[in-house]
A and B are shown apart, each in its own frame.
Chain A
Amino acid sequence: MSDLHTQQTEALAAIAAAADLAALDEQRVATLGKKGWVSAALKTLGQMSPEERAAAAPAIQAIRTEIAEAIEAKKAALEAAELAERLASETVDLTLPAPAAPKGSIHPVSQVMDELAEIFADLGFAVATGPEIEDDWHNFTALNMDETHPARAMHDTFYFPDKTLASSSEAVGQQKTPDGKDILLRTHTSPVQIRSMLAQGAPIRIIAPGRVYRSDSDATHTPMFHQVEGLVVDKGIHLGHLKWTLETFFKAFFEREDIVLRLRPSYFPFTEPSVEVDVGYSNEGGRRVVGGHGDAPGHAWMELGGSGMVNRRVLEFAGVDPYEYQGFAFGLGIDRIAMLKYGMNDLRAFFDGDARWLTHYGFSPFDQPTLSAGVGARA
């Protein structure tokens, strides 16, 4: 047996010294292999008497187990070392740039329109739309601006020429609908009031965001811009409801409790009484920040939109009984409130498509305005 122990000691040493899996396997063959000495020793057990076997077997079995375990352990160690070496050889320079997916963006006008829809949905307003190429009946007449109304001239309207005349190079006439109405680009979103009331009657609560057009172009005016119209017609609606609705909207939109509105009498043919809506603001670091009372020190008032109680003539034009219903309407400039909230200062840049501007002021597609996550997207 002492031979076996010597062999065992030598084998364990050789296993421990094996430099690689091949050398280790040689040791396995030399020990546990068919012709290995451990296997040979095990075979000798068969020729022994039961008593001898009982005496010798445990030692030989123990040698076999110990060597097998040593080989397994060494094998795992060698494999781990080999893996580590391979992985080390696979090291790359992670300061090199990874391929970048391009980042898209949502235009501020769209973002703010989604915000409006979300805030007003909570107040029960549906989103309505109408054509941008309108007729003068919906754009003016039904809004209590008949053909001779001076306010019509103040709208800087875009018209379409009468093609039958244009081709003969005579004085350019006015293109008309089949029933004789002038065709024009809508100058405000208010015709959607008329269309919506005609289509669904009262009671009604809608907002109508969209493009509008005025033939006006300077540093702060563009011939195309965006407005949102609001309309509530129901029983018992009065100016107090209008004030609350606008206050509630502006508080939600700017996410500030300290919004103070000032209503000023004004004139729009389609509302009576008509009020202009001012909001208090202060100047912080050269930027207008909405909030606070406009008469407070360091504050002033800024005009944000027009509104009023729907003129009963407009209700009549839109097929709503003015003895039963009354309501309010308002109009706000979307580009304007977007600029105020998100800090853009140049309206013209809105429509240029400059990718740098769009990336700078645009919103992540995942900034979807929701009531639960907040309708505003912070910088």
Chain B
Amino acid sequence: MKFSLTWLKDHLETTATLAEITDALNAIGLEVEGVEDPAQKLAGFRVAHVLSAAPHPDADKLQVLMVDTGEGDPLQVVCGAPNARAGMKGVLGLPGASVPANGMVLKKSAIRGVESNGMMCSTRELELGDDHDGIIELPDDAPVGTDFARYHGASPVIEVAVTPNRPDCMGVYGIARDLAAKGLGTLKPIAVPAFSPSGACPVEIRTDDPEGCPAFYGRVVKGVKNGPSPEWLQARLKSAGQRPISLLVDLTNYLMLAFGCPAHAYDLAKLSGAVVARRAKEGEQVLALNEKTYTLDSEMVVIADDVQVHDIAGIMGGEDSGVSEATTDVLLEIAFFDPARIGATGRKLGLASDARTRFERGVDPEFLDDGLDLLTGLIVELAGGSPSEALRAGSPPAQAKVVAFDPGLTLRLGGVEVAEDEQRRILESLGFRVDAQWNVACPLRRHDIEGPADLVEEVVRIHGLDKVESVPLPRADGVARPTATSAQVLERRLRRAAAASGLNEAVTWSFLPEWAAEHFAVEGQDLWLLANPISEDLKAMRPSLLPGLLMAAARNDARGADSTRLFEIGRRYFRGSDGLSDERATLGVVLAGEKTPRGWASGKAQGFDVYDAKGLALSLLEAAGAPTQNLMVMGEAGDQFHPGQSATLRLGPKVVLARFGMVHPATLKAFDLGGPVAAVELFLDSIPAKKNAAFARAPFTPPALQAVTRDFAFLVPQDLAAGDLVRSVQGADKASIVAAQVFDVFSGAGVPEGKKSLAIEVTLQPGDKTFTDADLKAISEKIVAAAGKLGAELRG
């Protein structure tokens, strides 16, 4: 909402400065978004008198003027405007002034060899209009030497953000009322120009939809002369950011901008029969003033005559019955529409307008008569014509809401003590009526008041929120308990563990391009696709953290990064069996580029391999407190991974804690990455939480005797998984074998075709007495036998 200070002062008698007014606006909840002072833009431009005009000696289209600026000697100015002539008054920009339209700073210069001390300006150059055919011509009585800004009446323009609960402040008058309540002046009464209506309204006005249009007031004015608006009106509309169109249109806009009361003027000649507020017929069409055709439905209210729809009620008038320069008779409309229906219609049609903004928030139902008289009076005064009596169809809501208020609530809820007298004064100055028992009757324009809390807000915002003192929250009794849940603590631990492993934490979009989400989609899970994405690249909610990280890695790669190690902790988005969101905490890792750069000691650069991924997966699971000793390495990491170099880590066959591996070359290609790239995903929701463990650890009982180790080398089938062999070796004598570990894998010379050699170090822990040779022999035999079941034979 924009308005000039002059306009505000039409309604507010005040001596306050601009700064005091803007401070007050901020303080009472009308946030000042900007102040534009045209006087600043017009600094250095003066009313000037052209004393003489002579042709430029060296240019046909230029003249050399001598200009009186009101002080000192006349200045010589070169001017190219065809209308520049001796005797005229215009606007001179002095050296140093900056031309508003283009920012050019004027300076003394020579134009084709003739000295020029400034510039005579056109309307367009001063951003006062579009005219650039010649320089501004001021009336003969314009005082020479006056600052043009002052002469022009340029007034600072204030822009405030009006919150949606305050449609009553979507007119300058409402803002003046709030400022008056704040003590910044006195609200002036509304001056309605006098007019004498004669005769009944010649057009029948009806509302056939009392729910959608409870009240429809109208009046005909015949014999008007439309044309340009007077200067004061144009200036006010321009300050509000509106383009003046014609007197009749401008006056309806003025009523809306000054009083928050939208109005409409129909060209009576274009109407036939009764003018009726009714529901639209299904599929009915209207050509609106924005020259677009809208198709309506039966939930929408329209104003129509016998022939066609002329107005999408409360939103936009129709092109066919709009007033024009030729209009002589008008029908004026002031109405009250159901706010919810206006909002729904506007949303459905995707049609925004100043009228809709006000109607859907709720206009002042008590202002319909005043609004109609004001509009009529202004039309009669400025455009002539003879008005009829007003015709009122229906009636607006008239029942004032009464809130039983306890002034003590201001302290209890608002935290600030305000004397009862002052509370009463504030409420009354805002138009509330307060009786002796503090029953507060609300003005009908205040649709936002629901109960006592709203009245506290009114009192506190006018009294001053700055008077609210800080009061410490009472501290909770007792010992501080953890405030984070175990899931949150898990994420924090993992985040720091991952960073400590040398990974950079990224935060990537929750949404992906559909193809990327599809690429990582989980079988049996439909993607969440947005109906209204910002772009196709941000359309599908991610089913995995890897695609976002792969895309980030590709961007890093494109920037020339040698090595990218990214991780992210966030949610994957699935659907529960109930169709609702199932969001699962996940950690994703992508390792791309060089693991070690080429170096004097390490030789050639090395890429990441799948064991880097496995190591990371296990160390992160360890940090998460997962039981890493008992994990099974199984397949099915997903199609996005190298089929021979990827796996899942499971706790039991069904609980997948993590997947890791080298990314499939086809996936790399899809994500525009060179290989190889390793990736890990940890599924945090699958990691079992620690169950109510106590702080005290189990007692420390180191074994009395030292463990011994024995090495075994087996020839095994090439495709036997080392893990399987280790597991059966470990199980060969559970009482004695505490660990088994592969220390060599070999195939080639000396190893038969189709076989490989696996060397395992077995750690044996004696119990209460040392192993005898016989014990060791027996254990060895069990180990060899267990290995033998997998086709392993001891190497000689």
Contacts and interface: CB of A to CB of B under 8 A. Distances in A.
Contacts of A243: 415, 468-471
A224 B566 contact: no
Contacts of B451: 312
Contacts of A351: 507-509
Contact of B531 (A161, A275, A355): A161
Interface in A290-328: 309, 311-313, 326
A181 to B, nearest CB: 10
Interface string A159-185: 111010000000010110110000101
Given A148-B344, A267-B164, A353-B508, A99 B414 contact: no
Given A131-B581, A224-B510, A353-B556, A215 B532 contact: yes
Contact of A241 (B164, B361, B415, B499): B415
Contacts of A103: 502
A245 B473 contact: yes
Interface string A195-228: 0000000000100000101010100000110000
Contacts of A133: 528, 541, 573, 580-581, 583
Interface string B584-618: 00000000000010011110000000000000000
Contact of A265 (B28, B347, B504): B28
B413 A239 contact: yes
B453 A311 contact: yes
Interface string B524-537: 00101111111000
B167 to A, nearest CB: 9
Contacts of A161: 529-531
B534 A265 contact: no
Interface string A240-275: 111111011000000000000011111101001111
Interface stretch (B47-55, B143-151, B478-486, B678-686): B478-486
A248 B580 CA distance: 38
A25 interface: no
A262 B509 contact: no
B505 interface: yes
Nearest to A353: B552
Contact of A365 (B340, B360, B500, B565): B500
A109 interface: yes
Interface string B156-184: 00000001111000000000000000000
Given A97-B600, A223-B538, A266-B31, A213 B565 contact: no
Contact of A244 (B361, B472, B502, B579): B472
Nearest to A122: B480
B353 interface: no
B601 A99 contact: yes
Contact of B504 (A121, A183, A359): A359
A52 interface: no
Contacts of B553: 353
A87 interface: no
A205 B495 CA distance: 26
A189 to B, nearest CB: 14
B475 interface: yes
Given A106-B499, A264-B26, A267-B164, A241 B473 contact: yes
A264 B475 contact: no
B27 to A, nearest CB: 7
A362 interface: yes
Contacts of B108: none
A310 B354 CA distance: 31
B416 A239 contact: yes
Contacts of A359: 504
A87 to B, nearest CB: 20
Contacts of B578: 178
Contact of A159 (B448, B531, B556): B531
B503 interface: yes
Classify chain A's interface size.
35 or more
A90 interface: no
A238 B471 contact: yes
B501 interface: yes
Interface string B350-375: 00000000001100000000000000
A274 B163 CA distance: 11
Given A97-B600, A267-B29, A239 B415 contact: yes
Interface in B246-292: none
Contact of A158 (B475, B485, B533): B533
A102 B502 contact: yes
A151 B502 contact: no
Contacts of B468: 239-240, 243, 263
Contacts of B600: 96-97
A99 B504 contact: no
Interface stretch (B85-93, B437-445, B455-463, B668-676): B455-463
A182 to B, nearest CB: 10
A132 B582 CA distance: 10
Most interface-central of B343, B415, B502, B599 (chain A CB within 10 A):
B415
A99 B596 contact: yes
Contacts of B498: 104
Contacts of A237: 473
B361 A106 contact: no
B706 to A, nearest CB: 33
A20 interface: no
B511 interface: yes
B559 A109 contact: no
A88 interface: no
Nearest to A181: B580
A244 B471 contact: yes
Contacts of B166: 267
Given A150-B361, A217-B534, A312-B451, A352 B555 contact: yes
A52 B415 CA distance: 116
A362 B504 contact: yes
B413 A238 contact: yes
A275 B416 contact: no
B208 to A, nearest CB: 22
B571 interface: yes
B768 interface: no
B340 A148 contact: yes
B546 interface: no
Given A132-B510, A224-B509, A123 B465 contact: no
Most interface-central of B29, B533, B573, B596 (chain A CB within 10 A):
B29
Nearest to B167: A150
Contacts of B710: none
B31 A126 contact: no
B211 interface: no
B466 interface: yes
A266 B29 contact: yes
A96 B31 CA distance: 62
30 contacts: A99-B596, A99-B601, A103-B502, A121-B480, A124-B476, A132-B510, A132-B571, A133-B581, A135-B580, A158-B533, A159-B530, A159-B532, A175-B531, A178-B578, A178-B579, A223-B534, A238-B414, A240-B470, A243-B471, A244-B471, A267-B164, A272-B456, A273-B461, A311-B453, A352-B552, A353-B548, A355-B564, A365-B495, A365-B496, A366-B500
Given A215-B532, A239-B465, A365-B500, 5 more contacts: A232-B473, A265-B27, A326-B413, A353-B551, A354-B559
Interface of B: 26-29, 31, 163-166, 339-340, 343-344, 347, 360-361, 411-416, 448, 450-451, 453-454, 456-457, 460-461, 465-466, 468-476, 480, 483-485, 488, 492, 495-511, 526, 528-534, 538, 541, 548-549, 551-553, 555-556, 559, 561, 563-566, 569-571, 573, 578-581, 583, 596, 599-602
Interface of A: 96-97, 99, 101-107, 109-110, 114, 117, 120-127, 129, 131-135, 148, 150-151, 153-154, 158-161, 163, 172, 174-175, 177-178, 183, 185, 205, 211, 213, 215, 217, 223-224, 232, 234, 236-245, 247-248, 262-267, 269, 272-276, 309, 311-313, 326, 350-356, 358-359, 362, 364-366, 368
Closest 3 A/B residue pairs (Cβ): A353-B552, A265-B29, A240-B415
